Structure 1
Amino acid sequence: MDSDTLLQHVISVERRAEDILADKQQVVDLDRKRNANREALRALKRSTDTKTWTCFGNTFIKFSNSDVDRMLRRDQETLNSEITALRDALPTKVNELREMEGKADARSFARLKALSREEVESLLSKQDSQY
Structure 2
Amino acid sequence: MEEKGAAPIDSQQLLEHLAQVEDVAEEILTDKQKLIDLNHHWNQTREAMRVLQKDKSDNKQWVCMGNMFIKMEKKSTSRLIEKDFDQTAQEIAKTRTELKPKLSHIRDLEHKEGIKGFHLQPLSKTEIAAINELI
Smaller-chain TM-score range?
A: 0.7 to 0.9
Across the aligned residues of Structure 1 and Structure 2, the Cα RMSD in angstroms comes to 1.9
Q: Look at both structures and tell me which one has the larger radius of gyration over its CA atoms.
A: 2
Aligned residue identity for 1:103: K
Cα deviation 1:64-99 (Å, max 9, x = unaligned): 111111111111111111111111222211111111
Distance 1:123-1:28 versus aligned 2 partners, 3 A rule: farther
Aligned residue identity for 2:17: H
Partner of 2:117: 109
Matches within 5 A, 1:8-27: 8-27=16-35
Normalising by the residue count of structure 2, what TM-score does the alignment of the two structures yield?
A: 0.82
Aligned residue identity for 2:35: V
More helix by share: 1
Distance 1:111-1:46 versus aligned 2 partners, 3 A rule: same
**Residue segments in structure 2 that go unaligned for 5+ positions in a row:** 1-8
Give the Cα separation in 1 of the matches to 2:35 and 2:127.
Answer: 26
Matches within 5 A, 1:57-72: 57-72=66-81
Identity of aligned residues (%): 35
Aligned residue identity for 2:98: A
Normalising by the residue count of structure 1, what TM-score does the alignment of the two structures yield?
A: 0.85
**Residue segments in structure 1 that go unaligned for 5+ positions in a row:** none
Number of equivalenced pairs: 126
Report which stretch shifted further, 33-42 or 3-12. Answer: 3-12
